[in-house]
Amino acid sequence: MFQEFIKTFSPNVKNDTLSGLTVALALVPEAVAFAFVAGVHPLTGLYAAFMVGLITAIMGGRPGMISGATGALAVVMVALVAQAERDFGAGMGPQYLFATVVLMGIIQIGAGALKLGKFIRIVPYPVMLGFVNGLAIVIFLAQIPQLQESTPGGKWGWTEGAWLAGNELYIMISMIAATMFITHFLPKVTKAIPSALAGILVVSLIVIGLDLDTKTVGDLASIAGGLPEFAAPNVPLTMDTLLFILPFSIILASIGLIESLLTITVIDEMTDTRGQGNKECIAQGTANVATGFFGGMGGCAMIGQSMINVNSGGRGRLSGIAAALFLLSFILFASSLIEQIPIAALTGVMFMVVIGTFEWSSFRMMRSIPKRDAFIIVLVSGVTVVTDLAVAVVVGVIVAALMFAWDHAKYIFATKTIDADGSKIYELHGPLFFGSAANFKDLFDPKGDPDKVIIEFKNSRVADHSAIEAIDSLAERYIAEGKELHLRHLSPECRTLLKKAGNLCDVNVLEDPKYRIAADNLG
């Protein structure tokens, strides 16, 4: 048991530590940028990256996965902060954000306790592909503004500005290309050090040694600060406060859990292991509750940094812990050094993440998979970019379910035979549910059928209340013609469904007073 724990904590201490350092370096500019997006101080984003990353690494359900402040949450938080500033006074935005993050965490803990994490399994594979591709595009778009002369703000972390030109542009592109070259080819030579970390260090030394004029982390904001301090959100504990933060908390909790659970799925496939979704829900919630009390903006899993970690050899919990502790050390002791790292090096690493994240095989699949699946991949990718991940996944699942229902609605049919006693048997094939209920009714001929009709269900099943209503409607048509309708070979699940209908249908009564159906439970 102890050896198993140690193996989970850190299969390889060196790899986990070095990959944690690589991730920490990549976390700095993103945490700062997302804080600007949300309209709060940069340290608010950095504290969130530290605390959420540390707590989820210790108690989460997916060793090796990295969590922190994310853009998906930041684009919702900016509306919360702006509205709180407008409604409750200047300076109140961050306080209401912290209160919202605490409630968000409580909701996520509740989701984990209720074991709602298992519902991520209903996400179809085309939606997963769309999610991954869309997120890769989002990561790519978030890097493009680094080639602009801009100031922090906007959806992707920067407002629109003039493009870099001349030597500054050439230096930026050259350093990005150099980082990507090292990251891609170094593993072919040696795996002693994570290639992404090597790329960042080499390009940083080149820029500093040659005194090249290019943007650095320090151009974003100063990351120097102290330890996060405990402080309850300074908001009135009233019903008005709850009604204000509750809608935002629900949205943020949903986005955070969806992104985290889908990232677990992606990392599971990469590492051929399996994470624990419900455990991760509780860990994410605990992390956000703690972050809200320590001045952080909250967070969730980060697929980009998780990909960096896994590709750099980080597999155990130590990699996430190391990333969080390195990030804290940057804030406390090494801010002046970290601020000298060129943005080009970090941008190059993120471009490699984009290349590794995007499912390039999906282009090849388009010609061989059903058109509806191809449409869902494109739809989810587009919605992820235009809106956010939670909306994209929900839209994708709904569209996939509707397409599934539409397709299976056409599969219901019946073979007809005449029994020795003259009764007519309809042997039903295909599921009877809301999508097929209309087609089900068209299979029968109450006027032309004999006095006794049997519907054989051994190759079918009653799936929902629409199916019960369809059977009742059909029974009324036969009764109106003075004929009997019997159901036969209902599966145990179907009988349970009918029994749960209570007064609507009692399958143990041969002639139900309301539904007037004789149910012959012969199998």
520 — pLDDT class (breaks 50, 70, 90): low
218 — pLDDT class (breaks 50, 70, 90): confident
Query: Distance between CA atoms of 515 and 475, rounded to whole angstroms?
Result: 7
Query: Which residue intervals of the chain bear CATH 3.30.750.24?
Result: 413-520
Evaluated on CA atoms 382, 196, 70, 317, the torsion sign reads: positive
52: pLDDT strictly greater than 60: yes
Contact assessment for residue 207 and residue 16, using Cβ atoms and an 8 Å cutoff? no
DSSP summary character for residue 483? -
**Strand extents, DSSP E, 93-227:** 148-149, 162-163
Q: b/e for 345-363, b at 16 or more Cβ within 10 A?
A: bbbbbbbbbbebbbbeebe
Query: Distance between CA atoms of 205 and 215, rounded to whole angstroms?
Result: 14
Query: Distance between CA atoms of 505 and 138, rounded to whole angstroms?
Result: 52
What's the CA angle centered on 482, arms 481 and 486, to 5 degrees? 100
pLDDT in tens, 77-125: 988 999 999 999 888 999 999 999 999 999 999 999 999 887 777 788 8
> Mean pLDDT of all residues in the chain?
85
320: pLDDT strictly greater than 80: yes
434 — pLDDT class (breaks 50, 70, 90): confident
pLDDT in tens, 179-207: 999 999 998 998 888 898 999 999 999 99
More confident residue, 495 or 22: 22
509: pLDDT strictly greater than 60: no
pLDDT in tens, 131-186: 889 888 888 887 887 887 754 455 544 455 577 888 889 999 999 999 999 999 99
Query: Distance between CA atoms of 108 and 464, rounded to whole angstroms?
Result: 30
Q: What is the CATH number of domain 413-520?
A: 3.30.750.24
pLDDT in tens, 442-476: 899 999 999 888 888 888 888 787 888 888 788 88
In the Cβ-directed half-sphere of 300, how many Cα atoms lie within 13 Å? 27
Specify the 3-state DSSP secondary structure of 342. Answer: strand
Query: Distance between CA atoms of 426 and 443, rounded to whole angstroms?
Result: 9
